[in-house]
Amino acid sequence: MLRIACPFCGTRDHSEFSYGGDGSVTYPALDAPMQDWHDAVFLRDNICGRQVETWQHVHGCRMWLMVERDTMTHEIFSVRPAHPGLAGALEAAE
Amino acid sequence: MSARRLDAGGRIDRTCPVSFRWDGLTYHGFNGDTLASALMANGQTVLGRSFKYHRPRGIMSAGVEESGAIVSVGAGARQEPNVKATMQELYDGLEARGQNAWPNVHFDLGAVNGLFGRFFSAGFYYKTFMGLPPFEWGRGTGLWMQYEKLIRKAAGMGAASRDADPDAYDHTHAFCDILVVGSGPAGLNAALTAAEAGRDVMLVEQDFELGGDYLNDPAAEAERAEMVAAVGRAGVRILTRTTAFGLYDCGVAGLVERVTDHLAAPDPHLPRQRFWTVRASATVLATGALERSVAFAGNDRPGVMTASAARSYLNRFGILPGQRVVIATTNDSAYGVAADLAAAGGEVTLADARDEVTSAPAGVAMRPGLAPLSTVGRRGVQGVRLATRSGNGWSQAAHEECDLLLVSGGWSPVVNLSSHRGAKPIWNGDLACFLAGPTDEPIHMAGSADGVWNREDCAASGVAAARRAMGEVVEAPAPGGWVRPIQPVYEVRLPGTKAKAFVDPQHDVIGDDVRLAHQEGFVSVEHLKRYTTLGMATDQGKMGNVIGLALMAEALGREVPAVGTTRFRPPYTPVAIGALAGRNVAGHFKPLRRTPLHDWNLRHGATMTEAGLWQRTWYFARAGETITEAYIREAATVRQTVGVCDVSSLGKIAVQGPDAAEFLNRVYTNAFAKLPIGKARYGIMLRDDGIVMDDGTTWRLGEADFLMTTTTTNAGRVMVWLEELLQTRWPYLRVHVTSVTDRWAGVSVAGPKARETIAACLELGTDISTEALPFMGVAPVTLKGGVKGLIARISFSGEQAYELYVPADQGEEMMDLLWPATEKLGGCLYGLEALGALRIEKGHVTGAELDGRMTIDDAGLGKMASSKKPYIGAALRQRPELTRADRPRLVGIFPKDRSQTFNGGALLCAKGRVSGFGEGWVTAVTHSPALGHWIGLGYIAGGHEAWAGKSVTAADPVRRGNVEVEIVSPHMFDPEGVRMHG
């Protein structure tokens, strides 16, 4: 029963969001070798504690968000737009 | 037990009699009664039969911990089993029955189980019926399942109705600053303190009256009334008949409010129950404490109950529950009960297991140093044998005749809700109970839920908890409060004897079961619980858990804290499935999506089917036609003349922006960068891992303007995927995606006369000849009458075909032009079934083939994968496992005997080797009007080249059986595509 503070819509129930995945993954270039893609797609840490993950406000503004969450306590430390340009613009506005 | 209703006293309304039915007979009670108190006042002692041994059971408590008076309430579709009679409010016309008994609770044939008690110890079924001949693993399973049916029937509780639930349930949400659970002295004080400090407070009480323990004490009525009024004045939102059944992350509490369960004739507009999701900034748990019993022989006999229950029946319901009363206690709490019962006219004997006792209350005979050893009697208790401590054990010391035996083995604070949040209960040896462990969450225990036994201290504890919940740092009253300490007794038995001393009466777990589990090597409480089923009944061990843990600790030679306790999980008390479902039932279970042409289709004879959330046309049967006849006629008509099919549900995504072409070029396996304006292209997109995600056509409408179509069922998923890519991976691409599915009404017009049909509907002079609009051409068009839309020459059926889209609200106008033109040329409307037949003939893939496991090569579309540019999935589709030559490939399937058919889902096996997973499977089957026999699509290892000339069996052992088939190319009709290019 998480609540996520969407930077665009305000704090909303997690049922409005859908979970994406590990937000720390940098996907390789499309023409990168198979091994790089294998590592990015299949190798995941199973973190107990703080983790950056992607969520989409799918029943709201549909924005993808970077959520820093404790996987043990569900405490959420930060929420920002996944799009770096939007994140920067929001920060500048603050 | 010789209970009788007193002429005065209690909180019942004697001016308001209520009649109800119990086991087919009519009885009377009063407003303010529970079913249990009314039955007790009517002299009913045996109210149920126990789980395993079918022992007669009566009322054991006055609350949620009840393990004896468990009954079925209501009739027909509203029959509800396993209702605790102690929690069921009485109303006029209430109908209740005993359960787990045949023919009735007074004379139950199942009681024969009691004679074979030694065969029913922990693990009996598994040891007896499984693992040994003829029940070894893998052999006697069928036989075991027959036995299990009988065993399940003999054990168990009430039966639920098999009819659909006729009642409505609601879901609702609420926010508050402070949620207070429980309205006893602690809860009322907590709520008042917080509300007077300006906080938004919700107070939740499972009972139908506020007051908690106040309700059991007439002397405190003035204080209670004043507190309740003050809480109301302070603006506290009060929910009675509402159970906080669980606490969850982020301050969420789940509540169930029983809205009409106490009403004889509820307003039909009211829900039966309301499920609340409450988000509280802080929570105060003033949930009270439950009195527990002691394990001794016959401690489950009707007429044995907790001491505090007797006080409830006397002071709240105006019933003297017994005339000759023996109270067996280990602590101070029973002394007040003894005094009240004696004052009401009972002959009371108080046996205190402690060595030193103080003076007895007025009129009470004191028997110090004695504990209950066994009860005497048949249906009800007639006497009790008492034991005294000798050495480390007990020896028989006395016998007392009685018709009511009250037991107080100690008190267990209700720490269940804090345990839901992971706060591990901690054993307090001085008070012989578990107290809530520490938690970082804003959850504050108050009153006897925190081990505080005196009312004044409970009130102070409530105030302190509220102030802590508001962020203050305050001292709370320390747990405890009895004058003389408790000397806990968990079990009384003579050394070397066996007896049915119940630990968990609801699941018929006895002390010997716990010791047996220990003998057999179980040391963890979690295993003990599962092996003996201790605490796994509907009460979750509210009365029995502590006794069970203490016996396990004794057997292990350890202390209770070393043994630990199991974690409580929601729900605190059972929650009806209907309340969880709320309004999400029947047609409201999921959203319903209709196309803009839905009503038009229905008016023209469509039968609808579900495709994801969508209602799509299935077939258009003419008079007397079956579905098979209808779709075959429709498909044949499309091949011969023309057919019109609603395709509005296809996903449509506007992909716009200067980098749109580059974006599509990365998403699709084939090239899109150089797609000319006014052209469409079929594309396939893969997932990162190289598996096919979806397919569809994308139309280039302008330099920076594309319209992507997706399959109906994957539209949402593809939209999410595009958004993810644009926002997280390629934020520098100047592209915007918008779902425009609902903006368009679309039809496919297919068949040799498709062009002629459409031309008749377009503005005069519009040229859609092959020269003007070639295969895969896209153009804006204007219909007769001025409706503007888009036309694309695209074919899924393999015929000359067009997709025509107009704005959603002008869809019917389009149909009213198209349909007469179609009819004039001998055409028809067709649905999904005929569309399926047409595409199977052509070997076109859809969801059944692109099932999330297949590669683009598996689907026979490898030539769509560009080797000149990178795209999503390009790297990982080359994984060795995905490029093996013997991977399943898309194939066409003909029955060897062309008059036969076969089933989708059948396994494809080499002839004579029908075993395991086979060599492939059938994804789709249809009757082909073009070929005149049944055909199918499927996958088989190596593809059709590997199986040319070989015999294959479509194995379907539980339905049709085996059918001999031939494997052919998936392009079963017009493989060169002459018709669709024509």
Full set of structural domains in chain A with CATH: 3-23+43-93 (3.30.2270.10)
What pLDDT band is residue B523 in, cutting at 50, 70 and 90? confident
Tell me the C-alpha distance between B661 and B658, whole Å. 8
pLDDT tens per residue, range B882-896: 999 999 999 999 999
| pLDDT attached to residue B115 | 62
| pLDDT attached to residue B628 | 96
What pLDDT band is residue B529 in, cutting at 50, 70 and 90? confident
Q: Point out which residues pair with B367 in neighbouring strands.
A: B351
**B697 and B662, same structural domain?**
yes
| pLDDT attached to residue B736 | 97
Give yes or no for residue B100 having a pLDDT over 90: no
Cis before residue B103, ω within 30 degrees of 0?
A: yes
Residue B722's alpha-carbon distances to A58, B533, B668, B674, B707, in angstroms, are: 13, 51, 11, 20, 13
Q: Find the farthest-apart pair of alpha carbons in chain A and give their distance in angstroms, rounded.
A: 42
Give the lowest-confidence range in A58-62, B448-452, B794-798, B809-813: B794-798
**B85 and B228, same structural domain?**
no
**B729 and B765, same structural domain?**
no
Q: Which domain CATH number covers B38?
A: 3.10.20.440
Give yes or no for residue B207 having a pLDDT over 70: yes
**Most B CBs within 10 Å: which of A41, A55, A71, as the mutation test of the B interface?**
A41
CA distance A56 to chain B (A): 8
CA distance A39 to chain B (A): 11
Tell me the C-alpha distance between B418 and B425, whole Å. 8
User: Concatenated DSSP letters for B242-298?
Assistant: EEEEEEEGGGEEEEEEESSTT-SS--TTS-SEEEEEEEEEEEEE---EEE---B-BT
* Cα atoms found within 13 Å of the Cα of residue B671, Cβ hemisphere only: 8
| pLDDT attached to residue B126 | 60
CB–CB contact B875 A54 (8 Å): no
Structural domain includes residue B435: yes
pLDDT tens per residue, range B573-606: 999 999 999 999 988 989 999 999 999 999 999 9
Structural domain includes residue B510: no
Cβ-based burial of B168 (10 A; exposed 0-12, middle 13-18, buried ≥19): middle
What pLDDT band is residue B157 in, cutting at 50, 70 and 90? confident
Chain A residues near residue B870 by CB distance under 8 angstroms = 29-31
**B726, closest residue in chain A (CA to CA):** A83
Q: Find the farthest-apart pair of alpha carbons in chain B and give their distance in angstroms, rounded.
A: 114
Chain B residues near residue A32 by CB distance under 8 angstroms = 875
Give yes or no for residue B98 having a pLDDT over 70: yes
| pLDDT attached to residue A50 | 97
B723 touching A (Cβ < 8 Å):
yes
| pLDDT attached to residue B121 | 66
**B919-927 mean pLDDT:** 97
| pLDDT attached to residue B144 | 59
B899 touching A (Cβ < 8 Å):
no
Sequence length of chain B is 982
Give yes or no for residue B137 having a pLDDT over 80: no
Domain count, chain B: 5
Chain B residues near residue A65 by CB distance under 8 angstroms = none
**Most A CBs within 10 Å: which of B666, B725, B727, as the mutation test of the A interface?**
B727
Q: Which domain CATH number covers B671?
A: 3.30.70.1400
Chain B residues near residue A27 by CB distance under 8 angstroms = 688, 729
* Residue spans of chain A under pLDDT 70: none
CB–CB contact A34 B879 (8 Å): yes
Give yes or no for residue B150 having a pLDDT over 70: no
| pLDDT attached to residue B755 | 96
Tell me the C-alpha distance between A64 and A85, whole Å. 13
**B888 and B767, same structural domain?**
no
What pLDDT band is residue B392 in, cutting at 50, 70 and 90? confident
| pLDDT attached to residue B8 | 94
| pLDDT attached to residue B497 | 85
**B94 and B33, same structural domain?**
yes
pLDDT tens per residue, range B257-316: 999 999 999 999 999 999 999 999 999 999 999 999 999 999 999 999 999 999 999 999
Dihedral in degrees, nearest 10, Cα atoms B373, B374, B376, B378? 170
Give the lowest-confidence range in B155-169, B400-414, B617-631, B894-908: B155-169
**B920 and B828, same structural domain?**
no
Structural domain includes residue B385: no
Chain A residues near residue B875 by CB distance under 8 angstroms = 28, 30-34, 36-37
Structural domain includes residue B226: yes
**B867, closest residue in chain A (CA to CA):** A31
CB–CB contact B727 A81 (8 Å): yes
CB count in 10 Å sphere of residue B907: 21
* Domain final residue, candidates B402, B435, B469: B469
pLDDT tens per residue, range B860-874: 999 999 999 999 999
Residue B937's alpha-carbon distances to B63, B346, B710, B857, B922, in angstroms, are: 63, 84, 21, 15, 6
Chain A residues near residue B728 by CB distance under 8 angstroms = 20, 54, 64, 82-83
CB–CB contact B870 A31 (8 Å): yes
**Most B CBs within 10 Å: which of A8, A15, A31, A34, as the mutation test of the B interface?**
A34
ipTM of model: 0.98
**B791 and B734, same structural domain?**
no
**B530-559 mean pLDDT:** 89
Give yes or no for residue B49 having a pLDDT over 90: no
| pLDDT attached to residue B145 | 62
Question: Measured in Å, how far apart are chain A's first and last C-alpha atoms?
Answer: 29
Give yes or no for residue B143 having a pLDDT over 80: no
**B773-786 mean pLDDT:** 96
| pLDDT attached to residue B120 | 62
What pLDDT band is residue B132 in, cutting at 50, 70 and 90? low
Chain B residues near residue A85 by CB distance under 8 angstroms = 731
B689 touching A (Cβ < 8 Å):
yes
**A76, closest residue in chain B (CA to CA):** B250
Give the lowest-confidence range in A69-83, B82-96, B536-550, B668-682: B536-550
Per-residue tokens: B396: 């028989």
* Domain final residue, candidates B810, B837, B864: B837
Q: Which domain CATH number covers B253?
A: 3.50.50.60
Per-residue tokens: B277: 């999701």
The answer to pTM > 0.80 is: yes
**B698 and B685, same structural domain?**
yes
| pLDDT attached to residue B147 | 62
CA distance B668 to chain A (A): 12
H-helix segments, B655-807? 660-667, 715-724, 754-759
**B950 and B802, same structural domain?**
no
Task: Fill in the DSSP letter of residue B480.
Answer: B
Structural domain includes residue B520: no
Structural domain includes residue B828: yes
**B765 and B735, same structural domain?**
no
Of A28, A38, A85, the CB nearest to B731: A85
Chain A residues near residue B876 by CB distance under 8 angstroms = 34, 37-38, 41
Task: Tell whether the torsion through CA atoms of B732, B735, B736 and B738 is positive or negative.
Answer: negative
What pLDDT band is residue B619 in, cutting at 50, 70 and 90? very high
CA nearest B446: which of B691, B184, B240? B184
Element (H, E) at B468: helix B455-469
Q: Is B610 helix (H, G, I), strand (E, B) or coil?
A: strand
B727 touching A (Cβ < 8 Å):
yes
* Domain final residue, candidates B92, B110, B128: B110
Give the lowest-confidence range in A15-24, B51-60, B653-662, B856-865: B51-60
Q: What is the 3-state secondary structure (H, E, C) of B290-314?
A: EECCCECECCCCCCEEEHHHHHHHH
pLDDT tens per residue, range B731-777: 999 999 999 999 999 999 999 999 999 999 999 999 999 999 999 99
| pLDDT attached to residue B131 | 53
| pLDDT attached to residue B43 | 95
Chain B residues near residue A37 by CB distance under 8 angstroms = 688, 875-876
CB–CB contact A85 B252 (8 Å): no
Task: Fill in the DSSP letter of residue B12.
Answer: S
B250 touching A (Cβ < 8 Å):
yes
Task: Tell whether the torsion through CA atoms of A6, A8, A12 and A17 is positive or negative.
Answer: negative
**B967-971 mean pLDDT:** 96
| pLDDT attached to residue B129 | 57
Give yes or no for residue B133 having a pLDDT over 60: no
Characterize the bridge pairing of strands B788-792 and B920-928. Answer: unpaired
Range of the domain at B956: 878-981
Give yes or no for residue B35 having a pLDDT over 60: yes
**A34, closest residue in chain B (CA to CA):** B875
CB–CB contact A58 B720 (8 Å): yes
pLDDT tens per residue, range B445-499: 999 999 999 999 999 999 999 999 999 999 989 999 999 999 999 999 998 888 8
B673 touching A (Cβ < 8 Å):
no
**Most B CBs within 10 Å: which of A37, A41, A74, A90, as the mutation test of the B interface?**
A37
Tell me the C-alpha distance between A18 and B540, whole Å. 34
Please say whether the beta carbons of A69 and A14 come within 8 A: no
Structural domain includes residue B663: yes
| pLDDT attached to residue B560 | 87
Please say whether the beta carbons of B711 and B651 come within 8 A: yes
CA nearest B844: which of B944, B730, B974? B974
CB–CB contact B731 A83 (8 Å): yes
Of A30, A40, A85, the CB nearest to B874: A30
CB–CB contact A84 B279 (8 Å): no
**B421, closest residue in chain A (CA to CA):** A73
| pLDDT attached to residue B149 | 64
**B772 and B670, same structural domain?**
no
**A83, closest residue in chain B (CA to CA):** B727
Q: Is B395 helix (H, G, I), strand (E, B) or coil?
A: strand
Tell me the C-alpha distance between B268 and B748, whole Å. 47
B724 touching A (Cβ < 8 Å):
yes
Structural domain includes residue B777: yes
Q: What is the 3-state secondary structure (H, E, C) of B782-810?
A: EECCCCEEEEECCCCCCCCEEEEEEEHHH
Task: Give phi and psi for B467, each to the nearest 5.
Answer: -70, -35
More confident residue, B559 or B463: B463
Q: Chain A residues contacting B, CB < 8 Å?
A: 1-3, 18, 20, 27-34, 36-38, 40-42, 54, 56, 58, 62-64, 73-74, 81-85
**B665 and B619, same structural domain?**
no
Of B279, B666, B728, the CB nearest to A54: B728
Q: Is A86 helix (H, G, I), strand (E, B) or coil?
A: helix
